[in-house]
Every structure is written in C-alpha cells, then in structure tokens.
Amino acid sequence: MTSVIESTISNAKDALISPWITQGMVSFSGQQLPDATAGRHGWILRADAKLVQIRWAIEAITSPELASMPPAKARLLIYRRALTLIDAEFGPINKKERESTARKLQEIALSLWRARHSASRAPISPADRLALIASFDKGQPYCWICGVRFSSSATEAFIRGKRFLSTSQLFVDFAYPRGRNKSDLAVTVDHVLPVAAGGTNDLDNLRLCCSWCNTAKSDALDVYRSGQYRGSYEHPTLGMFMLPSYSWVSRLLALVGACSDCGRNQADGPLVIAASSAVRQLNPAFLRIYCLDHDPWADERIVPAKGLP
C-alpha cells in the first residue's frame, strides 16, 4: 500500500514541474499534506497561509476613497461590498448568516483599514524608554526576539536616546550574522504589530529589540510574503547550505521562542537557529530553535564574516 507521504510526493510532481499549468495545480489543490511536510513548526506555516487568504478577502472590500468619506457612508459601503463578496464567493447561505458574516467582515475591515491609515511612527519618549527598561525589573535587558543580552553601554545609550555603535565582528553566526554591522547590537524599540499594518505606539505594542532582529522583522506579517533564501554558503565542515532570509529567522525565533530540546526561552538566554543534518536548504519548515546549551552547531556556528551572503 502506498504511504501517505509517497502519494503526496507523486501527486505533487505535476504541480512542482509545471506550476503554470492549470490541470496539475487544480488537481494538487485538493491534496491533503502530511504534517511531516511542514516540519515541527507546521502550525506557523498553516496559520500564516490562512492569514494571507483572510487579509486578501478583507482588503478586497476596502479602497482608497474611504478616506474622504463620512464614517457612516464608509461603513455602509463596506457592508454592501461584504454582502456582494459573500454572494459571489461563498455561495448561497441563509439571510441571517449572510448579514451576520457581512457585519463581522465590515467590523474587521474598518478596524484594520482605519488603523493602517491612521498609524504613524512617533519618537519613543524618555518615559517610555525608561518603562521598557524597567519591565525587566533587576534583570539584564534583552531582545524579545532572539534573547541576546544588551551591554550596559548599549542600554545607557538607549536610555539617553543616543546612537550606539559597537565594533564590527570579524567572526559571526553563519545562519544569522548579527554583528557584521556596527549597529546590530544596539537597543531599539520594535512595534510588535508593525506601524505599516496599523500598529500603535502604545507600550503594550512595544518591545526592546536588538537592531539586527528589528531590521530582519521589519513590517513582515507572515513567512510567505516576506522573504526568500538569501544565498548559498559553503560551510568549511558542514557543507553547502541555502541560507534563510532574515525575516524567516526572526519570525521563527519570535513565534516558537523556546529551545526544541529543553523549552528555555528568551528570558533564560539567547536562542539560535539550526537544522537537522539532512537539511541543506534552511527554510521555515525545517529550521529549529535551540538554546546555547543544546545547540547542535555549537562548534561550527561561528565563521569569518567575510564571504557570507
């Protein structure tokens, strides 16, 4: 009897070879994939894929002219568009469910649209800087994404609103080369929900973040629209790799946020990414998160910065 995985790979053949041919794509769209194909953190891939679809549906019923409309007129227009979308794409449903679904779509679409178009990046006040540092009580402040501890000089520069630059590192982690740039280890403020997506400047949307992770995260909202492999690299002892985009790395570190072996998180110490020995293309399906004590690449991770993509 053909295994589920073997059947999946066989059915995927036409779609993989000819992704612009209708027949193969339609056939494969109904294929149920085994959990193993999404790796240990498949829940992230599945959730992100669903969010992309939902965002597109919501975006479909909003448009630029809403900005110049009175609020009541904008609400009515979005409600009517939601009803049209439901009728065209969801098929016949009873009147009560149709109207209830349209109201929910209207509410979410208006909320997200207004947040996105009213949000603006404001300077972080001295009071907010102190509040973010104070949130660590007496512990050493650290990056909320990767867990790297901030030096006292970097922290002091942050509190004073001064720019912090360290010495560029000649040897860095090949998987995510934090430290190549002088500003990578500076303390910055990250908007958890990006400003571009409607994120506010309220304290509950702000986190301390190393400059490297903040830049890597940027305004990404999922793994599908925010990155590709950043290039190939031949490690001196581990062999050839396709290295992951920085956005993939930051999203996995933030969402998984714990060592695959022991469960330690950013509050316990820095986290790193790695993969099994069989994997050579480092993508979101097969990246793993580890603490420094369980890092399988502990002896091979640090390489000369020169030559890394």
User: 251-263, pLDDT tens digit by residue?
Assistant: 999 999 999 999 9
Tokens 């949130």 correspond to 135
Please tell me the distance from the alpha carbon of residue 181 to that of residue 165, in angstroms, as a whole number: 9
Phi, psi at residue 187, to the nearest 5°?
A: -80, 125
pLDDT higher than threshold 90 for residue 47: yes
Q: Helix H segments across the chain?
A: 4-17, 22-29, 42-59, 71-89, 95-118, 126-134, 152-159, 211-217, 246-256
Please tell me the distance from the alpha carbon of residue 190 to that of residue 215, in angstroms, as a whole number: 9
Per-residue confidence (pLDDT) for residue 1, from 0 to 100: 38
CA neighbours within 13 Å on the CB side: how many for 72?
Answer: 0
C-alpha distances (whole Å) from 25 to each of 8, 29, 46, 63 are 13, 6, 19, 31
Per-residue confidence (pLDDT) for residue 67, from 0 to 100: 77
Contact present, 66 and 74 (Cβ < 8 Å): yes
Burial label for 275, CB within 10 Å (0-12, 13-18, 19+), is buried
CB crowding 24-62: b at 16 or more within 10 Å, else e: beeebeeeebeeeebbbbbebbeebeeeeeeeebbeebb
* Mean pLDDT of the 215-228 span: 88
Instruction: Please name every residue paired with 281 in a beta bridge, in sequence order, or none if there are none.
Output: 242
Closest CA to 200 of 109, 120, 127: 120
Per-residue confidence (pLDDT) for residue 210, from 0 to 100: 97
Least confident of 102-106, 153-157, 267-271: 102-106
- Token pair, residue 211, equals 């400059």
Q: Are strands 239-243 and 171-173 parallel, antiparallel or unpaired?
A: unpaired
- Token pair, residue 239, equals 């062999």
Per-residue confidence (pLDDT) for residue 227, from 0 to 100: 72
Contact present, 178 and 210 (Cβ < 8 Å): yes
pLDDT higher than threshold 80 for residue 176: yes
pTM: 0.89
Least confident of 8-12, 39-43, 185-189, 237-241: 8-12
More confident residue, 64 or 256: 256
